[in-house]
């Protein structure tokens, strides 16, 4: 599939409104069968347009503390993957890592325990400074908008047709227009991996 069509975009809009919406209901609204909707959703997942289905929790109802925004400035050249370690902390909901060595995180924690959270997850020695902001209001507003997704072959740059090839190599999903491009890519990747 080289471009999302209007039906794909409508399916995405319906899932954004309610990810628990039954495929039969989606099928009725987009005038397709349930199995066809299921196939399209599987293809959207395969393409990476849908990264997962999740629950938007209000952690303040199930955890001690208040919702805070942590603005962390890391020491340049510090430890590897601090964003992943912070995201793995029980009280942390969202983490954004910026290109200028900052982490922004939303967590539910007692403000007096924020330092302890950061020390346990990232290590104070990796932090240059941090600021804590109590969150007064937060909104999540995902949307599809006027999106279109053009998928190009990573080997030759041609559009990937509906019957193209997808493969995961070292945790990254790649899309190819044909089996020949897929083979060329894998051969080149193996040569580069062996020489590294």
User: What is the reported pLDDT for 129?
Assistant: 93
Q: Rounded to two decimals, what is the model's pTM?
A: 0.56
Average pLDDT over residues 144-169: 75
| Alpha-carbon Rg for the chain in angstroms | 21
List, as one string, the DSSP characters of 15-54.
Answer: HHH-TT--HHHHHHHHTS-HHHHHHHHHHHHHHTS-----
Q: What is the pLDDT of residues 62-101, one digit of tens each?
A: 778 899 999 999 988 766 778 999 999 988 988 999 888 8
- CB-CB contact of 70 with 88 (8 Å): no
Q: What is the pLDDT of residues 12-42, one digit of tens each?
A: 989 988 889 999 999 999 999 999 999 999 9
Of the given ranges (39-48, 141-150, 177-186), which has the lowest mean pLDDT?
141-150
Band of residue 3 on the pLDDT scale cut at 50, 70, 90: low
Please give the Cα distance from 134 to 141 (Å, whole number): 20
């Amino acid at each position: 599939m080289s471009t999302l069509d209007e039906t794909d975009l409508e399916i995405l809009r319906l899932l954004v409104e309610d990810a628990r919406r039954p495929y039969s209901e989606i099928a009725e609204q987009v005038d397709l069968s349930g199995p066809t909707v299921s196939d399209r959703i599987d293809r959207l997942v395969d393409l990476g347009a849908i990264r997962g289905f999740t629950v938007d929790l209000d952690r303040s109802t199930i955890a001690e503390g208040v919702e805070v925004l942590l603005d962390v400035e890391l020491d340049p050249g510090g430890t590897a993957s601090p964003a992943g370690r912070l995201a793995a902390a029980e009280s942390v909901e969202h983490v954004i890592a910026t290109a200028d060595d900052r982490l922004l995180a939303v967590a539910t924690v007692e403000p007096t325990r924020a330092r302890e959270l950061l020390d346990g997850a990232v290590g104070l020695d990796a932090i240059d400074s941090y600021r804590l902001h109590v969150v007064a209001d937060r909104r999540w507003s995902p949307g599809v908008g006027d999106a279109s997704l053009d998928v190009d072959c990573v080997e030759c740059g041609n559009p990937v047709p509906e019957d193209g090839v997808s493969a995961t190599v070292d945790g990254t999903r790649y899309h190819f227009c044909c089996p020949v491009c897929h083979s060329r890519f894998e051969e080149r990747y193996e040569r580069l991996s062996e020489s590294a």
